[in-house]
Chain A
């Protein structure tokens, strides 16, 4: 695809996404806006995972941990805001999005730093298993926290406040998520093209070569992993606001798997791929689930098809249809 075609496509896409709530209302399917919001939030999480997985070659099977932690940050801060008691006796609660999102970034970043620092001592299958193990530890930690709902999760009575906007309104929430998705996409786009991204993609191709030209690969992978975890944390914080609920579900290993599936569906190591993958996944899930309770089965078949025949997910398919080589 040449540059002008790309720009035209981008503008069309932006216009469509901006008009989506109105189109949905016009077509009488307001639920579609909620579906699109979920796709955007998962898109943020998947795109973040893709930074580690697709660009950095770190196959993390534990990103649900960061997603769930972002959600629980919003939930726990809202809980303490409601009761008036401080968290751990000194951290006051909050219901301000401008507070909860930065805290979600901080906390998911800290968890990613710890989990990453330990997991990145290994590689290959071991790395996959150890990230999974850490995510399971986080899962059981939150299940055991009875104060915050344990197994049942934590209901968030009122969504966060953000410049007097009503985030309970579906359309408003959609636009917030659209804005965040655009921001995250832009940040990832810059990072991938920066010196850091240049080195990170080099590490994916050959860690041995990168060490031989003087790069301390561990530190760069760790920073990549932390940024990736933070992105998932932001998505989790948005999801908790959207659902008004934070639960162990967000931390389950199946959630890590779903994020991976979205990345693979859309195209590993591509910029838009994870967003496309998330949209396709959410759409398929809702369509297939209305046909059969065993919707995972047809989804699995579709995934198999994508992996075997598209070579680079949906984005790869589009690019090849657009005549781009390789």
Chain B
């Protein structure tokens, strides 16, 4: 113990290694804490918004609530129309001042600002009434969220609820599972390069330490003393790093809070992990690192001065790739039959298996490529690199493991993203893009007609056909409906417009049943949306005056005004606005892309640092040999070229394999996602190979780290130690 400390105080290489161990552990700990805390952020969000999950609870509630999505200039607004069902106190959640009576509204601060700075007929009138308070942060998902609670006399389509407090407990949305999945994947992708970094750093001293400890052993130190010395040296770095990592996680969580997810950023407190988790991670990290270092020393302790032997790897390791993929696809298949979190765990296990298999198989590929070089070298650098790769493939590959895992994940992500893109809620092509349509309209339309001069198209929805076989149909005036519906071309005279022959003449709307006349004309209808049949009103006189939908063709000029008028005058009606759907799917994709880019950038940088340290370490390990070569007149240029080749070649070979595995796994995951979300194309873009390029560039930069280390070697160092 005292010897270890004394050595540390004097030896620069031990110090460098300790600092690097500390750095690696620090980054690893803060990353793990960060990724562990991300689901916490979601938890915090859903706890704050639990008051919004009030549906389907009670049969007769104290209040009635309708929740709707709305949007203004590209930002989603969530609105709640509420009405009291009976007198009495209505409990509310934190952040909500009190239950708004009819004619009172509560707006989130950001929405209140927006309303103040916008003409009322464009936005403010959507929330009619007196603003009694702003919603506090305790009731908001994220800072700047646009939320409104509008008090009404009655909410016709509302759900009954006991209060505005919630209490069903937070539910798991797809979004939440998605982020949890991403953080788990991130955990693997980011922690592997950290481990490489720590392992390479610990190895920096290993060659020297092994020799020194072997000497100590020969001098009669007991194996225990030897192990204790190593443990102390490593532990100092690891504990230091762990402590710094915990400290670093604090500012880190604030940075994370500025990364948008699901439309908004986070409150600073959202990402603070629980104390128990922090303690566990902070303790576990050094224990693992020290454990690994002690295990690594077993060889020295057991057989002092063991001769350096050729270390071979057996090709069975390659089978692990097949095995990993098998585990993965088995997991995917099983996952298809499971529900909930277990499904993701299974998929993650498969992912881990594939990543592990890649790392195990990497040395085999490395050694093959080395063998190829050895077979056909012309110059000494190719020979040196090739022999190194075949002679010690594990060591040659070790440094690039992080890069390889990052490339694997990158290709996987790039395979999946376009696939997901084709999966996210598709744009409903029923209505024209410039049309705004209100569904579930049971209101008097007088006030709407007063509020806007735009043409108003009234429609009645229903079904044509028998119980077993029917088509979605709308009834109205063809010339009018053509202004809002896609694919409708009218001709004079009453007719049925249909894309297929009608199953029967029976027409059924929400509260009435009638039938088409025996004789009517059928004309083609080319709608690409939900509507299959359009019927001229004259053909169904029994329902001629009824309306359940209102459509308005708009211009860029009056779109906001019409939107506001529809919402303001038809409380509780559902507004169909293509913009919202697009917004939602754009947000989802942007979130995924951002998460991927952030994760992969960190992984690439970490992988690069790990590879650089490993490369530098491999030079230091062989310092005496290189010194002897330099003394005997080898140009540093030649050695540097050989070393670069040594680092680059396995990275290139294995990243290509990793890219292939990533694409395969990505397609597999898409299949699972398809089981969840629906159908879509499987587009593979040439971009999936981009991570290979990035990986090679990162490795090249890392390989350049050899240069300074090599130049730092003096030809007289061959006699050192």
Chains A and B belong together in one complex: no
> Which B residues form the contact surface with A (CB < 8 A)?
none
